[in-house]
Amino acid sequence: MSSEHTTSFINGEFIAAAPEDEDLDVLNPSTTERITTVKISSPEVVDRAVAAARAAQDRWRRLPQTERARYMIAIADEMQRRHEDFVVDLMTEQGKVRAHAEGEVGKAIGYFRYMAEWARRIEGEVIPSDRPGELIVLQRRPIGVVAGICPWNYPLFLLSRKVAPALITGSTLVIKPAEDTPINALMFAEVCAAVGLPAGVFNLVLGTGAVGAAMSGHPGVDFVTFTGSTATGAKIMESASKSVTKVSLELGGKAPAIVLKDADLDLAVEKIAESRLLNNGQVCTCAERVYVERPVADEFIKRIGERLGRLKTGDPADPTVDVGPLVNRKAADRTRKVLDEALAAGATLVAGGGRVDSPGYFFPPAVIRVDDPAADILYNEVFGPILPVHVVENVDEAIERANDCEYGLASSLYTNDLNMTLRVIDELQFGEVYVNRENEEAIQGFHAGIKASGIGGADGKHAIEEYTTTQVSYIQRH
């Protein structure tokens, strides 16, 4: 276990558990063994955390931005010092292979460093007035108390994506990690304590959806930022609506990859395969379905089957392993069921999808050919390593099928034709379009879904906008 703490972190301290606090076991998905047991935060603890964040607000927002940035650099440095602890933890509690765990920790640290650079760049505006002698001044103000509810798939990075923009813009937070992956968040709280982040600026509560529900409907919260499933996002929006609280929702996806007949097939196979196996197939922006043009379809399917079918699935602690476990039993059982149902409905297994002789929640990546364009697997998010491939007659059919989906998060296109690229980008109804590569947002870029994939945006200047309100002053000279 990488953290010695198992309870909420409020006002700069890990609080003592009350006798009536419920237990939550944290399991290693590779072995199903218990790593530790944490304490679920009661509604009173959530109240205390929100009150602590509120009490810390005034002092924190009045600190010069460069001072706040200094704390963020200190956080990044301390995370860097504990880099290996975080990597091992993500391998153990979430199941990432080492390379993916190192990638996540690096991105989380980089996020604090990047957001700290905004210290001298958060600008207001002076707008010329129609009235003589008047100034119209727009200033960005901290949004206040932020409730951040996180999923388990990139627990440390997604926590950092919420904490860093809040800190630089002068807000304070209460964060809840997912029930499967609380340890890295406890370690992050230890980092905040180690660098002397002022008490109450970062608070952590632990538990299941009920704790998240208590946060999202809390009258003391000014902004709810959520990353997770669309079903939960809808519930959060409903509870936040009661107090007209702003929400940011980063939700599910069903990313299509379109492979046109002129594409570099080696590139398309490699990028789509890497994307599909990233984090053991559990990434919201990863290629979840492929539409490939008929002239190159057989070759593409053969090659991607060979590429994904030869991977080794097992315990990420084993350096020869390419694919770790799914996060929990529910995820593994659901993925198996989805594959069985797709095959029963007429899909053909191209490669993978076997069983691993281990109690862990393993599922070797599977490639399937799906001829029925109405098959469920082309519409519903799997969030596991199954890649369905459907053959299309032309680009118009590919675009139509890609857009025929409730989600609008990420998409990708493989072609060497510039005009075709521009045309397809114009037509795709997705917040993100990757051309000749797969998902990975740049921190200075933009991340957001449309349709059922969410509301609001992250990264770059959009993060600053998300975590601030705009105040206008009209100043009249006499």
How far, in Å, CA of 89 to CA of 274, rounded?
23
Smallest distance, ligand NAD to C-beta of residue 259, A: 23
How far, in Å, CA of 224 to CA of 412, rounded?
30
Nearer to ligand NAD, 260 or 283 (CB): 283
Please tell me whether residue 235 binds ligand NAD under the rule CB under 6 A: yes
Q: Which 3 state secondary structure label does DSSP give 452? A: coil
Nearer to ligand NAD, 178 or 347 (CB): 178
DSSP character string of 223-238: EEEEES-HHHHHHHHH
Q: Which 3 state secondary structure label does DSSP give 259? A: strand
Q: Which of 95, 220, 454, 456 binds ligand NAD (CB under 6 A)?
A: 454
Please tell me whether residue 209 binds ligand NAD under the rule CB under 6 A: yes
Q: Cα-flanking dihedrals φ and ψ of residue 286, to 5°?
A: -75, 150
Please tell me whether residue 176 binds ligand NAD under the rule CB under 6 A: yes
The per-residue b/e assignment along 32-62, b for 16 or more CB within 10 angstroms, e otherwise, is eeebbebbbbbeebbebbbbbbbebbeebbe
Q: How many residues line the site for ligand NAD (CB under 6 A)?
A: 29
Nearer to ligand NAD, 106 or 209 (CB): 209
Please tell me whether residue 50 binds ligand NAD under the rule CB under 6 A: no
Please tell me whether residue 373 binds ligand NAD under the rule CB under 6 A: no
Query: What mask, x for binding ligand NAD by CB under 6 A, covers residues 295 to 334?
Result: ----------------------------------------
Please tell me whether residue 151 binds ligand NAD under the rule CB under 6 A: yes
Nearer to ligand NAD, 60 or 152 (CB): 152
**How buried is 336 (Cβ within 10 angstroms: 0-12 exposed, 13-18 middle, 19+ buried)?**
middle
How far, in Å, CA of 173 to CA of 221, rounded?
9
Token pair belonging to 290 = 């492929």
Using the contact rule CB under 6 A, the part of the chain among 28-36, 246-254, 316-324, 464-472 near ligand NAD is 246-254
Q: Are strands 386-392 and 366-369 parallel, antiparallel or unpaired?
A: parallel
The per-residue b/e assignment along 126-148, b for 16 or more CB within 10 angstroms, e otherwise, is eeeeeeeeeeeeeebebbbbbbb
Q: Which of 21, 93, 190, 250 binds ligand NAD (CB under 6 A)?
A: 250
Smallest distance, ligand NAD to C-beta of residue 387, A: 16
Catalytic residue among 250, 432, 441, 466: 250
**CB-CB contact of 356 with 31 (8 Å):** no
Smallest distance, ligand NAD to C-beta of residue 285, A: 7
Instruction: Tell me the sheet residues that pair with 450.
Output: 408
Nearer to ligand NAD, 402 or 409 (CB): 409
- Residue 406 among the catalytic residues: no
Please tell me whether residue 383 binds ligand NAD under the rule CB under 6 A: yes
Q: Which of 212, 220, 281, 325 binds ligand NAD (CB under 6 A)?
A: 212
Token pair belonging to 396 = 């118009």
Nearer to ligand NAD, 78 or 250 (CB): 250
Question: Helices marked H in 117-182 — which ranges?
Answer: 155-169
Smallest distance, ligand NAD to C-beta of residue 293, A: 27
DSSP character string of 343-361: HHTT-EEEE-----SSSS-
**CB-CB contact of 139 with 43 (8 Å):** no
What are the Cα distances from residue 176, in Å, to 11, 146, 202, 312? 15, 11, 11, 33
Please tell me whether residue 229 binds ligand NAD under the rule CB under 6 A: yes
Q: Cα-flanking dihedrals φ and ψ of residue 368, to 5°?
A: -130, 145
Nearer to ligand NAD, 71 or 157 (CB): 157
Q: Which of 381, 432, 438, 459 binds ligand NAD (CB under 6 A)?
A: 381
Nearer to ligand NAD, 305 or 454 (CB): 454
H or E element, residue 138: strand 134-142
Site for ligand NAD in 62-121 (CB under 6 A): none
Q: Which of 2, 30, 65, 153 binds ligand NAD (CB under 6 A)?
A: 153
Using the contact rule CB under 6 A, the part of the chain among 111-119, 194-202, 251-259, 417-425 near ligand NAD is 251-259
Q: Is 436 left (phi over 0), alpha (psi -120 to 50) or beta?
A: left
Q: Report the residue number whose CB is nearest to ligand NAD.
A: 212
Q: Which of 29, 228, 256, 365 binds ligand NAD (CB under 6 A)?
A: 228
Residues annotated as catalytic are 250
Residues that bind ligand NAD (CB under 6 A): 149-153, 176, 178-179, 208-209, 212-213, 216, 227-229, 232, 235-236, 250-253, 284, 381, 383, 409, 449, 454
